[in-house]
Chains A and B, each alone.
Chain A
Amino acid sequence: MGESGDLLQGSLELLVLKALSLEPMHGWGIGQRIDQLSRDVFHVTQGSLYPALQRMLRKGWIRAEWRVTENNRRARYYRLTASGRRELEAKAARWRRTSDAVNGILALRSSEGTM
């Protein structure tokens, strides 16, 4: 999964940001949440989450801290920063534009037949 393309990588980041916008979470939790959110459409290889988190840490969108879980275990929690929140909005808007455009093209194609 490491060789995910730009689109896929971008969408993974979007999903992570979205998941974290609800509440701070640890890596496993993020994976679970993405599975739920995408209703199992996106199946993220769990390991590939971590390099993405590392990249986003560097970009300053998220922060990481060690906290104790409800089961009294140490886990690394990630939370959204202000710039992360802005990035989520920007990414979401871009995604919508892209998907609208793609949908439009697909609609065009189906109505005008093959080129």
Chain B
Amino acid sequence: MSRISDLIERLRALVFPSRREREMTEEIRFHIEREVEERVGRGADPGAARREALATFGNIEAVKEAVRDASGVRLLQDLGADFRYGLRSLGRDSLYTTAVVTVLGLGLGAAATAFAVADSVLLSPLPYREPDRLVRVGQLYQQNSTVWQLSTVDAQAILEQQRSFEVFGLVAWGEATLSGVGTPEKAPIGAVTSGFFRALEADAAVGRVVTPEDEWADAEPVAVVSHALANQRLGGAEAAVGRALTIDGLSHTVIGVLPEGTEKLGGVRATAWPVLKLRPPERRGPFWLRGIGRLREGVTLDDAARDMEAISKRIFPVWASSFQDQTARIAPMPLRDTIVGDAGRAVGLFFAAVVLVLLVAIANVTTLSLARASARESERALRVTLGAGRVRLARLPLAEGLVIGLAAGLLGFGIAVLGFRILGQLTPNLPRVDEVAIDGRVVAFLVACAILSGILVSISTMLAAFRSSSAPVGQGDGRRTGSDRRTTAFRSALVTAEFALALPLLLGSSLLFVSFSRLQRVDVGFDPEGVVSLSLALPDARYPGYAEVQTFWRQLEQRVAEVPGAFASGLTSELPPGQAGNINNFNLIDRPVQPGVAEHLAPWLVVTPGFFDALQIPLLEGRWFTEADSATGPPVVLVSRWWAQRYYPGESAVGRQMIEGGCVTCDPTTVIGVVGDVKYLGLAETGDAVYSPLAQSQARTAHLVVRSRAQPAITLKAVREVVAGLDPELSMEEQTLEARLADALTGPGRSTALLSVFAFAAVALAAVGIFGLLSYTVRQRRREIGVRIALGAAPSVITRMVVGQGMSYATAGTVVGLALTILEARWLDSFLYGVSASDPLTTAAAAVALLLVAAVACWLPGFRASRIHAVEAIATE
């Protein structure tokens, strides 16, 4: 019974708080009026009666508080009241509110975006069941830590001998021409064994995935396709199953369609997944397969590593004739590491930058709110005198802070939604970027950050309220009191911190900028102007052998040479700059590597002589390829200058001989000339390269490059017509080399731009912070400055005094920031080209720039101080 009445009373108080308050006020008013009547009735003077009645009753506010306390919903009610108070007082100060909500909202939005990226890329589990049991199997070399793919030999040995995996599958990926369904088109494909799907536990939405029977040599070729491909070209998921799809000229039957949205499996993006049939190997290479395994229950990565090592030891000696690096071993590694790769560091950098900006924003908003609190000191003092409790008073700034935090969180949410859109477009190559989404975790992070920043922003004001809540009216009227001085000291510390945090950002973005401008000025080794390229792949089915392929390439070159305006053209297996697709091992006959040590590696290109002409790569020594360098002639190569200087420093490389690709039974290859360096490995890399003549290769994919005086669009149209005239079934992918070069700079350009935005924001916030602090102290010291001016101080002396004070904070902050940049340096180095992260010149420039900004921000309040009118300043106090 009493519990129910308790509940009803509490609910009444909670649901009708204003009614409850009204009733209480009315009841007390009635009480006092009745008391006055009583006293007047006994013959008292009405005025005196009222005074006495009030005195007998006690402090009305205190009684009301006690009744509220007794109603049992005190905390909730107060919270509501505090929030309403917070909203009202913030509403009155719309300029302040807009400023802090914007600053904090931008910071929170950026932080939420960064968190979402970091969360999807680095933290959240892969979208497979028990992803920790998934491993990638590749080859490791002790000499260099790069991971190589597996060869057919390795793959078959693992399939037969392994004891660690529940399932082991393989995938080989690349581009293939899809035809037989509409216009031929190049598409990413992943040829897979049945184990690949089973290890990942990926199933088809319609139809089935690859089974072991499909891998048999005489089985009909089958393929699984993505939902998008089925929809776009096969008439929908249901209709797709059973249809024929020609992949690189070979007809495959579609057996299944993956669920919508599954574009990537095991870190491989593909639109079609044909069955992979392993043929008996002849030598240990090439290395073209990625192994994906699901560890058995209870088997650790170390167990699997021992298992793989044992297999390496068994099979490597068997194939030693074609591969002699004894430091190599087959090794498992977490699939996650493979998928995330190097992006982890970039994402970490991005996240760290955002956190720094958010901290600067919080520090800035805190200084603003402290300034506002000082300005409202008299209001607060009045409340103290009226009997408001310390706790209540300290809670008000908290409520305000939380209102600000939540409003900023809301704004931040909007910014994050926008940020995701932009991010998806800016960084399509970021692994797992397609998984980035605003999910519960991101929202939880945002809310937590919003509340935390709300608390951080208000905490100093709360403490200030606690400290000086005993100060009576009259002391908070703008004169410097003890607590006021402490608050100013705290604000100075915050401003110093802002500078300390801004410097690493400024230095980071300056370094990236220097690095970027160096990258832009890199000699790429070729002239991209007016060069267009068309990528072609000749399908096995129609071009079965060497003769057909070579005939096509020769005809193509001849016809293209007749295109009006085209004055140079050629074929190449790789386009600069960017990732070199084919890296080959070789051993120099006159300088062989030690037995058991890995052979040298170099980017290996297959080109026609016209390629050098089209790209204007100079011959530095020796001779070009000729007609004689054909399949029947001895194997020859051209090498880059970097290669020549690396392996034959101070000597001529021409005439040297090497064993290519570990093929000891092949004829040795002779270096016939040295050409200029071209950046195939990327702009920041060396110009290492070896060129083989196309006539001596089996290459059935190539890029046709054409240099023309005509507009690229016109040239491309003409060249497309030439190719279609030779074979209308071929898919073509066009590009201009200028666009390619621009693409290579896009990534570094974007990270530079992004970090610059953060750095700019941090520096601007720091400048605003120091400007606000000095403006405030000048106002506080108006009288003192007035006296100084009255006593004859020159305006310049006053300005110097104020600027000096500000600059001492800025300098202290910069010094602390310099210490922070030492920590930053190690981290940043891997992002930089041509400049060290601890580059003294850039560091000094960033520090000086920061101090200059500070000086400008300090000068304005300093100048204003010097214009204070002495008499007025003293009189108004």
A residues in contact (CB < 8 Å) with B: 1-2, 26-28, 31-32, 45-48, 50-52, 54-55, 57-61, 66, 73-76, 83
Distance, CA A27 to CA B26, complexed state (A): 12
Report the Cα distance A75→B57, complex, angstroms: 17
- Minimum Cβ distance to chain A for residue B811 (Å): 54
Contact A46:B56 (CB < 8 A) given known A2-B62, A59-B6: yes
> Contacts A28-B35, A46-B31 given: A60-B59 contact, CB under 8 Å?
no
Report yes or no: A47 in contact with B57, Cβ–Cβ below 8 A: yes
CB atoms of A60 and B63 under 8 A apart? no
- Which A residues are in CB contact (< 8 Å) with B232? none
Q: Is the pair A48, B6 in contact by a Cβ cutoff of 8 Å?
A: no
| Interface residue B43 (Cβ < 8 Å from any Cβ of A) | no
Given contacts A26-B30, A45-B56, A46-B57, contact A58 B6 (CB under 8 A): yes
CA distance A19 to B99 in the complex (A): 59
Q: Which residue of A lies closest to B58 (CB)?
A: A47
Q: Are B2 and A60 in contact (CB under 8 A)?
A: yes
Nearest CB in chain B to that of A46: its residue: B57
Report the 6 A-B pairs with minimum CB-CB distance, sorted nearest first. A60-B5, A47-B58, A47-B63, A54-B70, A51-B66, A60-B2
Q: A99 to B872: give the CA distance in the assembly, Å.
A: 73
Binary CB contact string for chain B from 23 to 46 against chain A (1 if under 8 A, 0 otherwise):
110111011001100100000000
Shortest CB-to-CB span from A28 to chain B, Å, is 4
**In this complex, which of B26, B27, B38 has the most chain A Cβ atoms within 10 angstroms of its Cβ?**
B27
Residues of A within 8 A of B59 (CB): 47
Report whether B63 and A51 are in contact in the complex, using a CB–CB cutoff of 8 Å: yes
Query: Is B66 touching A48 in the complex (CB atoms < 8 A)?
Result: yes
Against A, the Cβ 8 Å flags (1 = close, 0 = not) of B313-346 are: 0000000000000000000000000000000000
Residues of B within 8 A of A31 (CB): 31
Q: Are A83 and B1 in contact (CB under 8 A)?
A: yes
Beyond A47-B62, A47-B63: 17 further Cβ-contacts under 8 Å?
A1-B58, A2-B63, A26-B34, A27-B27, A27-B31, A28-B31, A46-B31, A46-B56, A47-B60, A48-B58, A48-B66, A50-B63, A54-B9, A54-B70, A58-B72, A66-B23, A83-B2
* Contact partners of B69 in chain A: CB under 8 A: 51
- Contacts A48-B58, A57-B9, A59-B6 known; A76 to B27 CB distance under 8 Å? yes
CA distance A52 to B69 in the complex (A): 11
How far apart sit A73 and B32, CA to CA, in the bound complex (Å)? 13
Distance to closest chain A CB from B26 (angstroms): 7
CB neighbours (8 Å) of A50 from chain B are: 24, 27-28, 63, 66-67
Nearest CB on A from B89, distance (A): 28
CA distance A61 to B62 in the complex (A): 24
Which A residues lie within 8 Å of B28 (CB)?
47, 50
Residues of A within 8 A of B10 (CB): 58
- Please give the distance in Å from A74's CB to the nearest CB on chain B: 7
Would you call B71 an interface residue if the criterion is a C-beta within 8 Å of the partner chain's C-beta atoms?
yes
Tell me if B4 counts as interface (CB < 8 A to partner A). yes
Task: Give the complex CA separation of A102 and B67 in angstroms.
Answer: 32
A residues within 8 A CB of B5?
57-60
A59: chain B residues at CB < 8 Å are 2, 5-6
Q: For the complex formed, measure the closest distance between the CB of A96 and the CB atoms of chain B, giving whole angstroms.
A: 23
| Whole-angstrom CA separation of A50 from B26 in the bound complex | 12
Is A54 a contact partner of B67 (Cβ separation < 8 A)? yes
Q: Which residues of the other chain, A, contact B27 by a CB distance below 8 angstroms?
A: 26-27, 50, 75-76
| Known interface pairs A57-B5, A60-B5; A75-B35 also in contact (CB < 8 Å) | no
Measured in the bound complex, the distance between the Cα atoms of B27 and A75 in whole Å is: 7
Do A28 and B6 touch across chains, with their CB atoms under 8 A apart?
A: no
Q: Residues of A contacting B56 with CB < 8 Å?
A: 45-46
> Would you call A74 and B26 a contact (CB within 8 A)?
yes
Measured CB to CB, the nearest residue on chain A to B6 is A58
Q: Quick check: B30 and A2 within 8 Å, CB to CB?
A: no
Report the minimal beta-carbon distance from A112 to chain B, rounded to whole angstroms: 43
- Complex Cα gap A55–B66 (Å): 10
What's the least CB distance linking A111 to chain B, in Å? Answer: 42
Cβ A58 vs Cβ B58 within 8 A: no
CB distance from B390 to the nearest CB of A (A): 16
Q: List 12 A-B contacts (CB under 8 A).
A: A27-B30, A46-B31, A46-B57, A47-B66, A48-B63, A50-B67, A57-B9, A58-B10, A60-B2, A73-B30, A74-B26, A76-B23
Nearest residue (CB) in A for B64 is A50
| CB-contact partner of B30 in A54, A55, A57, A76, under 8 A | A76
Inter-chain contacts of A61 with B (CB < 8 A) = 2
Contact B2 A55 (CB under 8 A): no
Q: Hey, which chain B residues are within 8 Å of A66, CB to CB?
A: 23
Nearest CB on A from B783, distance (A)? 43
A74 touches B30 (CB 8 A): yes
Give the residues in chain B near A54, CB-CB below 8 Å.
9, 67, 70-71
How far apart are B50's CB and chain A's nearest CB, in angstroms?
14
In contact, B6 and A60 (Cβ under 8 angstroms): yes
Please indicate the chain B residues that have their CB under 8 angstroms from the CB of A52 in the complex: 70
> Which residue of A has the minimal Cβ distance to B5?
A60
* Bound-state Cα–Cα, A45 to B35, Å: 13
Bound CA–CA A73/B9 (angstroms): 25
Tell me the nearest residue of chain A to B27, going by C-beta.
A76
CA distance A68 to B716 in the complex (A): 98
Verify A28–B30 contact, CB threshold 8 A.
yes
Q: Which residues of A contact B23 (CB under 8 A)?
A: 66, 76
CA distance A55 to B69 in the complex (A): 9
Q: Is the CB of A2 within 8 A of B35?
A: no
Q: Which residues of A contact B35 (CB under 8 A)?
A: 28, 46
Shortest beta-carbon distance from A47 to chain B in Å:
4
- With the chains together, A57 CA to B8 CA distance in Å? 10
Contacts of A60 in B (CB 8 A): 1-2, 4-6
Q: How far is the CB of A114 from chain B (nearest CB, A)?
A: 39
Residues of A contacting B60 with CB < 8 Å?
Answer: 47
Contacts of B62 in A (CB 8 A): 2, 47
Chain A residues with CB under 8 A of B24: 50
Look across to chain A and name the residue whose beta carbon is closest to the beta carbon of B66. A51
Q: State A28–B34 Cα separation when bound (angstroms).
A: 7
Give A61 to B340 CA distance when docked, in angstroms.
68
Complex Cα gap A32–B39 (Å) = 12
Closest B residue by C-beta to A59: B2
Question: Measured between alpha carbons, how far is A28 from B53 in the docked complex, in Å?
Answer: 11
Cross-interface CB contact of A45 among B26, B58, B71, cutoff 8 Å: B58
Minimum distance in angstroms from A104 CB to a CB of chain B? 33
The residues of B that contact A26 with a CB separation of less than 8 Å are 27, 30-31, 34
Instruction: Identify the closest chain B residue to A75 (Cβ).
Output: B30
Give bound CA distance, A60 to B1, whole Å.
Answer: 7
C-alpha gap A27/B33 in the complex (Å): 12
Distance of A51 from chain B, by nearest CB (Å): 4
CB distance from A80 to the nearest CB of B (A): 13
For B23, give the chain A residue with the smallest CB separation: A76
- Which residue on B lies nearest to A84, using beta carbons? B2
Q: Which residues of A contact B63 (CB under 8 A)?
A: 2, 47-48, 50-51
Convert B409-438 into 0s and 1s, putting 1 for each residue whose CB lies closer than 8 angstroms to a CB of A: 000000000000000000000000000000
Looking at the assembled complex, report how far the CB atom of A8 sits from the nearest CB atom of chain B, in whole angstroms. 14
B257 shortest CB reach to chain A, Å: 65
- Contact residues in B for A75 (Cβ distance below 8 Å): 27, 30, 34
* CA of A73 to CA of B71, assembled, Å: 26
Residues from chain B with Cβ under 8 Å of A27 in the complex = 27, 30-31
For residue A73, which residues in chain B have a CB less than 8 angstroms away from its CB?
Answer: 30
Q: In chain A, what residue has the closest Cβ to B9?
A: A58
Instruction: Give A62 to B352 CA distance when docked, in angstroms.
Output: 62
How many Å lie between the Cα of A50 and that of B320 in the bound state? Answer: 98
Q: Please measure, in the bound complex, the distance between the C-alpha atom of A10 and the C-alpha atom of B23, giving whole angstroms.
A: 25
Complex Cα spacing A2 to B1, Å: 28
A50 to chain B, nearest CB (A): 5
Q: Mark B65-81, 1 if CB is under 8 A from A, else 0.
A: 01101111000000000
Complex CA gap A54/B23 in Å reads 12
CA distance A109 to B58 in the complex (A): 39
A74–B9 Cα distance when bound, in Å, is 21
Specify which of A1, A45, A51 is in contact with B70 (CB 8 Å cutoff): A51
Smallest CB–CB gap between A58 and chain B, Å?
4
